[in-house]
Amino acid sequence: MRNVDIAVRAAREAFEGHWTKAAPSERGRMLAKLANLFGRDVDIVAAIESLDNGKALTMAQGDVTNAAFATMEAGWIRSVAKRSIQTQSLLFTPGMKLSVFAAKLFLGISLS
């Protein structure tokens, strides 16, 4: 469970850190930069992903290429940065308690 504690601590620090405080336009710039890096280094990132997860290299290349499409989301963020978006339900409410769990699973099994 030590790894879970480390992951939870890192997630909390990230959530309470710069990203949460950044303006939407800055978040968009960061996502665009990340997407450009993924696009530039598809083969390197895919090789690492393949080794790390044991998946076929071609599948990892597809995953990394799909991640590069974050550029589209980055542009969308910049375009709505100065508008309010009304929703009927909130997926996250500030101050709401969040729960985390960990489970040991067989290799190749995901919860998604």
- Answer whether residue 40 is part of any domain: yes
Query: Could you tell me the residue range of the domain that residue 67 belongs to?
Result: 28-81
- Answer whether residue 20 is part of any domain: no
pLDDT digits (tens, 9 = 90+) for 11-26: 888 888 888 888 877 8
Residue pair 42/57 in contact (Cβ under 8 Å)? The answer is no
Whether pTM > 0.85 for this model: the answer is no
- Answer whether residue 32 is part of any domain: yes
**Overall domain count for the chain:** 1
Q: Look-up: residue for tokens 């030590």? A: 2
pLDDT band at 45 (very low <50, low <70, confident <90, very high): very high
Tally the C-alpha atoms within 13 A of residue 75's C-alpha that lie toward its C-beta: 6
Which comes out higher in pLDDT, residue 73 or 9? 9
